[in-house]
Amino acid sequence: MHAVRIHQFGDHSVLRYEEVPDPHPGAGEVRVAVQAASINRGDLARRVGTYPGELSFPLTLGWEVAGTIDAVGDGVDPRRIGERVVAVAMSGGYAEKLLTADVGAVPIPDALDDDVAAAIPVVFLTAWYGLVTTAKVRPNEWVLVHAGASGVGMAAIQIAARCGARVVATASTAAKQQFARRLGAAATINYTERDFVEEVWQLTDRAGVDVVLESVGGEIFEQSLDVLRLNGRLITVGNTAGKTASVDPTALIRNNLSLHGLYLAEWIRSGSAWPVLHEFIQRVADGSYAVCIDQQFPLREAGAAHRYLEQRKNIGKIVLRP
């Protein structure tokens, strides 16, 4: 089979399209013939060496795929062979075949498109655990979602809106602002043209927001603290702009603020993510939630796909097709 692997950290040129041996499922595992693999910003962080956790080379990137189970290991019901699934694993998605735990391959309805299915797990689970489980967003609260046209932003706007919150989304272009509003954002801010801190204060009548879902890091992390009202909660799920930020403990104390980091892998390892993922698959299939696929790239062009994402051209998700 073919896979895209990295043998060292670096820019998109380190992604190599290679022929590798087919993997064989061990006890409790299934093998999925991949039809679509989704790209996440965490893949970029892994590629350059800034993602948490130890990595060994060569490494096949990719956490989530859609496809068909074509082999099972000991202890797995052989009737699963031929089943269409979304599969989540800690690595290995940029390939023609993926190994994952039996429980990590969740059935999908026949009518659900492979590209759409592959784009669900990471962004919807991240947004759910950030906004609902951790921040406990309530009706009528103000929620600021950064990068509203990103994959996580796409999911977060919809989840927060369905919680009854008033969502403000930041975006870099008019087209991305329109996209965020279609998903349910009550207001949008073009952060390339306006100071989002001042805009948030104006939108909320100088009260600030209750929750910020933040995936950028650096200066944006610091500024996000400045827009939180009393008892505000900041949930950080990424650091695409910078690993370093300053926090004034006095500000946290004065406004009773809470800071939370979210590492999705821990929810996946615990097993609690699978029922939540199953529910989102059903809700996307019945139209309750929308998934936008911006671009498809052939697997061999994973480097071009990474470059496209790095340039922030996407509105929604990007997928690879083997």
Residue 234 lies in a domain: yes
On whether both 176 and 231 belong to a single domain, the answer is yes
Distance CA 173, CA 216 (A): 17
The Cα-based distances of 40 to 37, 63, 132, 165, 321 in angstroms read 10, 8, 21, 26, 15
On whether both 311 and 198 belong to a single domain, the answer is no
Q: Which of 226, 249, 264 is the last residue of a domain?
A: 264
On whether both 96 and 139 belong to a single domain, the answer is no
Q: Which of 264, 279, 312 is the last residue of a domain?
A: 264
Position 242 scores a pLDDT of 61
Q: Which residue is it, tokens 């940029």?
A: 94
pTM: 0.95
Residue 276 lies in a domain: no
Residue range of the domain that includes 207: 123-264
The CATH code of the domain that includes 65 is: 3.90.180.10
Position 161 scores a pLDDT of 98
- Selection from 180, 185, 163 nearest residue 292 by Cα: 180
Residue 270 lies in a domain: no
For 47, list phi and psi in degrees, rounded to 5. Answer: -65, -35
* Three-state DSSP string of 119-179: CCHHHHHHHHHHHHHHCCCCCCCEEEECCCCCHHHHHHHHHHHHCCCEEEEEECCHHHHHH
Distance CA 258, CA 231 (A): 7
Position 251 scores a pLDDT of 78
Distance CA 176, CA 194 (A): 15
Both tokens of residue 90?
């800690």
CA torsion sign, 249 to 252 to 258 to 262?
A: negative
Number of domains in the chain: 2
On whether both 130 and 92 belong to a single domain, the answer is no
Both tokens of residue 75?
């202890």
Both tokens of residue 112?
């659900």
Split the chain (322 residues) into runs of 10 and give each run's mean pLDDT.
Answer: 97 97 98 98 92 88 98 98 97 98 96 97 97 98 97 98 98 97 98 94 96 87 91 89 71 88 87 94 98 98 97 96 96
Residue 63 lies in a domain: yes
On whether both 135 and 95 belong to a single domain, the answer is no
The CATH code of the domain that includes 234 is: 3.40.50.720
On whether both 223 and 144 belong to a single domain, the answer is yes
For every residue of 227-276, DSSP letters joined together read TEEEEEEEEE---SSBS-----HHHHHHHT-EEEE--HHHHHHHTTHHHH
On whether both 109 and 130 belong to a single domain, the answer is no
Position 120 scores a pLDDT of 98
